[in-house]
Structure 1
Amino acid sequence: MGDFSWLTAQPIAHRGYHDLNKQCWENTLSAFAAAVERGFAIECDVHLSADRVPVVIHDDNFQRLADRDGFVWQRTAAEIGAMKVGGTADHFPTLKETLDLVAGRVPLVIEVKGTPGHDDGLVESVGRLLETYDGKVAIMSFDHWLIRDFARYAPGIPAGLTAYGKDNQLIEAHFSMLAHQIDFTSYAAGDLPNPFVSFVRDRLKMPVITWTIRDQPAIDLTFRYADQMTFEGFDPATMRIA
């Protein structure tokens, strides 16, 4: 296993450094610029557009973020990019725009979001963009079928399992993903501790980051059982809540 100390060196801004979608919205270039300015790593989410372009958006539809109908996979990247997020001047960026903005100044953790039946080529498209990216970057996913594509289409890129849960069935499913060359895990803080996280951290020396941290008790939980937090709604440097 390589040196992934950079992955846990600084707090990771969940969907960028936004203010809980009051003025600066999640997964926008403004939120990413704010994270870069403060020296935080960035977590972002990526779906595949109708024309096979990785676009940065958490949901598989536009209702919550743009008050528009339709799914991401039904729209081209240009159509998606023309939509304004939350009535602000920000648009839904492509992953390429995000990479160009961050430009290696802080680490970037990309969560690849699958949509069954509509995500063929997603990992390949992301991997192709990352081939020439000059910066610290990792990919991760909840979706096991996408993780199985990581080694083939994004070789050399640190790969993670995004996960949650404490029940035996989920824990067993998480253990099964160790066969697919994962390098770290991003785990729901409220589900710590658990046998999977304890095993990969203590026995495999695998980095563990948590999501999504919003208050001091969750911070304490993170640094008792994991190595770094993915946070939102406050500034870890001051603990000021947004």
Structure 2
Amino acid sequence: MNNSCVAHRGFSSIAPENTVAAFELAMEQPQVQWIELDVQCSRDGVPVVIHDFTFNRTTDGEGLVRETNWSDIEKLDAGSWKGKSYVGERIPSLGEVLDRCCGKVRLNIELKTQGDMYPDLPAAVIHEVRQRHMQHDVVLTSFEPKALAKAKEIAPEFQTGLIIDARPGDLVARLKQLQCSFLSIGYTNVDKSLMREMQHEEIQVMAWTVDDKTIMKRLAAIDPSLMLCTNCPDVWEKAFHETARHFFRP
């Protein structure tokens, strides 16, 4: 089981998702090679790391991210919902996360948008990454094709990837049209034929989101190049050790 372990929103089964606490905990795990995170823009154009379009679920605030200035966002408590030990944990800016992760782990940065909600998001994210010379340490992914096309137009050197939870017949054509070399796909859509097809096109595949040990081992057996995205890096580690014990059993 040599499949890369991708920590989904950090070590989010333990720490509050998309926070520095979750990212730091993930980076403490030797098996974690990648971290996946979500980025939107504040009203004043600051790229902020948060999944939902509102603050309601993961903070003590309410309202839309895109209608709130960064100076107000950074005051919110994004940790209390996960437990007393995370009271006061903040929503980080993308810049803060990049600074902490630079040279330690690679990043799958999801451009969290729909339609024309965030026309300036790709440029804002690319600016932050370029400032730190991390172009080759990140992949920009999104469900929204417009965001991927814009990112590639601005920064052809960046790796980009489509996120999808389906397997349409024209998947390869879509990826080629968008110039994507990465595919983030719901794990139930992954099988050997998909991996063969993507390898032929030199497209890296990541399966999301896998928290069950048995499913991890089944997916790992399909292809060692398949990246496994999980909320539970500790479960990935258990699956790895169980597979290793089976392989080396006398």
Q: Which residue of 2 aligns with 1:66?
A: 59
3-state SS of paired residue (1:35) = helix
Deviations 1:188-241 (A, max 9, x none): 00122386654223x21321111001012321343215611011134122359x
Q: Which residue of 2 aligns with 1:231?
A: 230
Pick aligned residue for 1:217 from 185, 194, 214: 214
| TM-score, length-scaled by structure 1 | 0.85
Superposition deviation, residue 172 in structure 1: 2.8
CA distance, structure 1, for counterparts of residue 75 and residue 125 of structure 2? 21
2:16 aligned with 1:25: yes
CA distance, structure 2, for counterparts of residue 48 and residue 194 of structure 1? 38
**1:186-197, aligned counterparts within 5 Å?**
186-193=184-191
Q: Which residue of 2 aligns with 1:163?
A: 164
2:180 aligned with 1:182: yes
2:4 aligned with 1:10: yes
Q: Which residue of 1 aligns with 2:45?
A: 52
Matched-pair contact (CA < 8 Å) for 1:144–1:177 = no
Superposition deviation, residue 12 in structure 1: 0.6
Matched AA of 2:204:
P
3-state SS of paired residue (1:131) = helix
Q: Which residue of 1 aligns with 2:205?
A: 208
State the identity %.
Answer: 26
Q: Which residue of 2 aligns with 1:112?
A: 111
Q: Which residue of 2 aligns with 1:172?
A: 170
Superposition deviation, residue 100 in structure 1: 0.9
CA distance, structure 1, for counterparts of residue 44 and residue 169 of structure 2? 36
Deviations 1:88-109 (A, max 9, x none): 2211111001001112211111
CA distance, structure 2, for counterparts of residue 192 and residue 173 of structure 1? 13
| TM-score, length-scaled by structure 2 | 0.82
CA distance, structure 1, for counterparts of residue 60 and residue 218 of structure 2? 36
Q: Which residue of 2 aligns with 1:4?
A: none
Gap change, CA 1:196 and 1:145, over 3 Å in 2: farther
2:92 aligned with 1:99: no
Q: Which residue of 2 aligns with 1:3?
A: none
Asked which structure has the greater CA Rg, the reply is 2
- Alignment RMSD: 2.2
Gap change, CA 1:10 and 1:133, over 3 Å in 2: farther
CA distance, structure 1, for counterparts of residue 239 and residue 191 of structure 2? 24
3-state SS of paired residue (1:46) = strand
Deviations 1:91-141 (A, max 9, x none): 111100100111221111101111434301100111111113244111111
Matched-pair contact (CA < 8 Å) for 2:43–2:68 = yes
Matched-pair contact (CA < 8 Å) for 1:55–1:92 = yes
Q: Which residue of 2 aligns with 1:148?
A: 149
Structure 1 portions without partners, runs of 5+: 1-7
3-state SS of paired residue (1:84) = coil
Superposition deviation, residue 51 in structure 1: 0.8
Matched AA of 2:61:
R
Q: How many positions carry a matched residue from both structures?
A: 226
CA distance, structure 1, for counterparts of residue 147 and residue 192 of structure 2? 24
CA distance, structure 2, for counterparts of residue 101 and residue 215 of structure 1? 29
Higher relative contact order (CA 8 A, sep 6+): 2
